[in-house]
Chains A and B, each alone.
Chain A
Amino acid sequence: MSFVNAPIRKKDAMSLVTGKPVYTGDLIPQNALVVKLLRSPHSNADIESINTAAALKVPGVCCILTWEDVPDARFTTAGQTYPEPSPYDRLILDRHLRCYGDPVAIVAAENEQAADKALRLIKVKYHVMEPLLDFTKAKDNTILVHPEDNFRALCPVGADNKRNLCSTERMDIGDVDEVLKTCDVVVERTFNTKANNQAMMETFRTFSYIDEYGRLTVVSSTQVPFHARRILSNALQIPKSRIRVVKPRIGGGFGAKQSVVSELFPAIVTLKTGRAASIIYSREESMTNGSPRHQMQMKVRVGASKDGVIRAIDLYALSNAGAYGDHGPTTIGLVGHKSLSLYGGLEAARFDNEVVYTNTMGGGAYRGYGATQGIFAVESAVSELAAKLGMDPCVLREKNMVAQGQMMPTYYNEPCNSCTLDKCMAKAKEMMDWDNKYPRRVLENGHIRSVGVAMAMQGSGISGVDIASVEIRLNDDGFYTLLLGCTDMGTGCDTILSQMAADCLDCDLDRIAVRGVDTDFSPYDTGSYASSTTYVTGMAVVKTCQVLREKILKTGAFMLNVPEETAEFDGKRVFVPGTEKQVTLEEIGYASYEGHNRCLSASESHSSLISPPPFMVGMAEIDLDPETGKVEVVDYVGAVDCGTVINTNLARVQTEGGIVQGIGMALYEDICYSASGKMENNSFLQYKIPSRLDVGKIHIEFESSYEPTGPFGAKSIGELVINTPAPAIMNALYNATGCFFDTLPVRSEDIFFAMEEKNK
């Protein structure tokens, strides 16, 4: 039986659906101190003085830490491979507060009530300064977000803290200005996106304690346990050898937990007090001081011949890092590389970008990681181009889309080895009944039904950077232990990788015991981000299984006393074909535990020099009430090329979930700041993520290519799927109203007023 490309139930599913205590918050030791943070009520202020005397007298308060109690060495909390491209711009507690909610003091108490009371009794004098809130005015502003002299960038990303620059980059292919001059049609538009919150159901949380060897153990809901170990070491200024990070089940991440957000606070309390300590972020804290998508402004110019050949795209992107540069210099790259590369025949392309510091909350990684913003802008511009050319937006894309076998100059010059974007388009049109529904029809009740389209791509891991290691052990009755360093955050990678191992080892899925991450015993893996797990860690599984099979065969042949070349291993036994000579895997397992030097295990690593893009076409059908501007997505179809689908259920759910997050970004999720920089949408009451009543039907089909460098031909899926809804819905809105929308989210009132304006 093959487990790959099957709808396998997740190995941890039944413990999750029966509510077992498997998450960080369920595992906190009874005696752990409760850690809470006093947060800044200002967007830009210096702490003049802090008086903790009264707070320390509250019964049950164990310790209060301020900026004077933490190391003065800057670090980044971005979970990235060292040396991190994100600048070292943080302290655990800083005297200079750079955004609303920046931590001012850490309180640790025996219970929550005491901690809360102490928070109210800490007296702080602030020197309040004017905040820099408009990121379009940040560069070379007189207000400096990071005036400090010990700011440093480890990588040459173009950071300059004296100019509020987190990074700058430019890519030129051909002469864009010259080609655009000779284009028959040029579309130019500026697009705006907001700082969407991942809104994973489990907020940030961590607990820590000193173990029996005197080492700091940090149990955390993190996507990056190994990076977290290094970041803890950098921040606390203690050797990495003294730190162990453990990841239990995670209640969702979507990139939020690719930064160290809650880990440092209990860890420093444990170091200072020797006591176990825990922190659970409130939803408000997760909203105001998490690690959301970078707010961006993108200016696109796209030019084509009158018969619809797209000849050049010019893209300038400005990204708001906010107060801290986590993932700033890297998310911006994807804005261009993963949008321009959708188009195969460009004569010229330019991608110019700047990431700037402001006094809004710091950004981070969120599913799509810049590609989402870039694809929204470029795909919307391409749809506008189609309108200008009087062409069906699908036809324009069919003429210009990237194809298998091409090189992708705007995608780090990587080859397009596997791509069925053309088939995805054909499938999506069929599923949507596009030719009959395009562009719109008016229903009897006056509502307008219209359709819209967009394409998307992403990567599969970070080329030449991500590393995955896997260890598989044969145990005494012939079952295997699969040790992984990548982090299952609900996506099901523990199961998916077990499916691959079961197929590679010709065994039943139940014979694979899988174990997630503990930095003390898991093999190294960069972590679960950048859509790397299936593609990169999957190949490490395949390689490890190959080596282990060879070892099993060798041991079996030795036990049979036959030459290795004459024996075969079929997953259950080593045997000599045509004879009765055989030894079972169970016997080999027991034998490997007795009296010789052949305990059977294998561990291999994998890294890929390329990051094969998965592709997708998404189409939205919307229902618009022209009298109110109220819009509903009644139908959404997605046709996906993620290479071979490893788990058909989980790939489908990934796609459906990504699309709904994308719909939220397009229509609902609206981070706003007050004039002083306080976030106004700091709860689920004000920050509306889609409920099940806000999304219509979603239909998914897979049009699998075969990626020759991936495990079983697989590429990634996790991030790709969030990228089409915003531009597809914008296209549908144009087809309904004749208005172009370029600023997310598009609210009912925006639609209503745009239609009013147009009808004037």
Chain B
Amino acid sequence: MLITVTINGKKYTDEIAPDMVLLDYLRQKGCYSVKRGCETSNCGLCTVHLDGKPILSCSYLAARADGHSVTTLEGLQEEAAEFGAFLADQGGEQCGFCSPGFIMNVLAMVRELKDPTEAEIQEYLSGNLCRCTGYQSQLRAVKNYLAHKQEVQS
């Protein structure tokens, strides 16, 4: 079937198999930041934005993205580097395999929640698993990043 999807601001029209999931389509288009960590929608590694909202691309048919706009970390390099620096300064990226999906969700959270509490942060990001860090360094990074953003704005 024929779909037209905007990926990171660029429009693509492709003939795809009806059962292709968005994750595989995106990797086929060179968006290698999008990772698969499970087959059961549990890990959050494949998180991308569809029209600005976070979704799990492993369990989203590419066909459903027809006519929509998809953003991956490749399309948010500046923001990724900005937040990523806070993560890196905690050593919180570790193996880095979950970082792209995690960062996509952090960036979505920052857009969606105003001054989130710690509990709200943890709740929002709870679908992003990480086996390396024990999550503490990620939380420190998010808090430092939010404080920095507030500082810049005020």
Contacts and interface: CB of A to CB of B under 8 A. Distances in A.
Contacts of A685: 40, 42
A344 interface: no
B95 A252 contact: yes
A683 interface: yes
Given A652-B137, A692-B125, A251 B84 contact: no
Interface stretch (B61-69, B86-94, B109-117, B146-154): B86-94
A284 interface: yes
Contact of B39 (A202, A254, A683): A683
Interface string B122-147: 11011111111111111100000000
B91 A18 contact: no
Interface string B26-40: 000000111101111
Nearest to B77: A18
A202 B97 contact: yes
Nearest to B74: A19
Given A251-B96, A683-B42, A692-B135, A18 B88 contact: no
Interface in A487-512: 489-492
A683 B40 contact: yes
Nearest to A655: B134
B122 A250 contact: no
A656 B99 contact: no
B40 A283 contact: yes
Looking at chain A's contact residues, the main secondary structure is loop
Nearest to A21: B32
Contact of B133 (A20, A26, A653): A653
Interface string A444-461: 000000000000000000
A656 B138 CA distance: 11
A695 B136 CA distance: 9
B73 interface: yes
The number of chain A residues touching the other chain, given as a range, is 35 or more
A527 to B, nearest CB: 16
Looking at chain B's contact residues, the main secondary structure is loop
A647 interface: yes
Given A490-B95, A692-B139, A657 B133 contact: yes
Given A19-B32, A656-B137, A251 B91 contact: no
B131 A9 contact: no
Interface string A638-675: 00000000010110110011111100000000000000
B33 to A, nearest CB: 3
Central interface residue in A490, A659, A685, by most chain B CB within 10 Å:
A490
A689 B73 CA distance: 26
B50 interface: no
A684 B92 contact: no
A18 B81 contact: yes
Contacts of A198: 131
A202 B129 CA distance: 12
A754 interface: no
Contact of B122 (A10, A26, A692): A692
B39 A693 contact: no
Contacts of A199: 131
Contact of B126 (A26, A691, A697): A691
Given A251-B96, A693-B126, A698-B136, A9 B40 contact: no
A16 interface: yes
A19 B94 contact: no
16 contacts: A9-B91, A13-B84, A14-B88, A17-B85, A18-B84, A19-B74, A19-B80, A19-B103, A652-B137, A653-B91, A657-B134, A660-B133, A660-B134, A660-B135, A692-B128, A692-B139
Interface of B: 17, 32-35, 37-40, 42-43, 45, 72-74, 77, 80-81, 83-85, 87-100, 103, 122-123, 125-139
Given A16-B96, A658-B134, 10 more contacts: A14-B84, A16-B93, A18-B33, A19-B74, A198-B131, A202-B35, A252-B131, A656-B136, A656-B137, A683-B39
